[in-house]
Amino acid sequence: MERIGRIIKSISGFYDVLDDENSELIRTRARGNFRKRKIKPLVGDKVKFDSTGDLGYILEILPRENSLVRPPIANIDQAIVVTSAAEPNFSSNLLDKILINIEHNDITPLIYLTKSDLLSEEKYLELKDILAGYHNAGYQVFDDQDSYNDTQVEKLEETFADKVTVFTGQSGAGKSTLLNHIDTELGLATAAISQTLNRGKHTTRQVSLFDIADGLVADTPGFSSIDLMNVTAEELPTLFPEFLQYSGGCQFRGCRHVNEPNCQVKAALEDGKIMHSRYDNYLYFLNEINSYKKRY
């Protein structure tokens, strides 16, 4: 009998599928011709499957809204970008790069600050001021000094309902720790930071979706570097939500907001309506994307 469900776990060639109709969990394999056709099911995929015997078979992967390579997951609605205040230190360049990749994949990013208790009061207030700029740009930001307080964690959980949520951000930023505060039964491995590299050790090995607060939540490996290989110079300015607020008023359609006359984004920058760090990172990324073109 043909049914429809979502893959919530992948393990050694088997896929656990949650049936849409009755929430039954069925272990399946992919049909043999998937490999020949170089189709690989991903956690998060909506699939048609057959489950007549003990083991079901995935017959078809339904069209994906989006997918990520790292972590390998499909049909994501939102991404919680866990960014640490210290150990590893806050980097607006890395945060903006992650946000751009998420926006490029049509996923809604939210920013969650961790480890701010390691900062002095003065440094914390400076960082809070920077994050207020992200809030003004249109991002939902969680930046309490006590990162894992119940009120803030509950407020985050309220965003999960009816969505597939991934946690991402640099390694060692505290994604697994945050998930353990959300649901202690997950018992996800957390690891100490490698001080020598100021970089986290990858503690999360496989992607699974967990049923939390009426939504599905994935714990995923972090990364310490990421490139913009799939983003074009034309697309880049559209991935900064605060640029979109003003770009409609630019003299030229497809304005890159660099040297063009009557650019409203640059006018907004001069008026303090756009953060200088965001604009500087934009120029940096534009240069990076143009250098890829030259190389290839």
Could you tell me which residues are annotated as the binding site? 114-117, 169-177, 250, 255, 257, 263
Give alpha helix (H) positions in the chain. Answer: 32-36, 92-104, 121-136, 150-157, 175-182, 241-247, 264-270, 276-295
Cα–Cα distance for residue pair 282/96, rounded to 1 Å:
8
Cα–Cα distance for residue pair 203/179, rounded to 1 Å:
13
Cα–Cα distance for residue pair 172/239, rounded to 1 Å:
26
Smallest CA-to-CA distance from 112 within 77, 74, 153, 57 is with 153
Torsion angle of alpha carbons 263, 266, 272, 274, nearest 10°? Answer: 100
The binding site for GTP comprises: 114-117, 169-177
Cα–Cα distance for residue pair 272/107, rounded to 1 Å:
27
The binding site for Zn(2+) comprises: 250, 255, 257, 263
Determine the length of the chain. Answer: 296
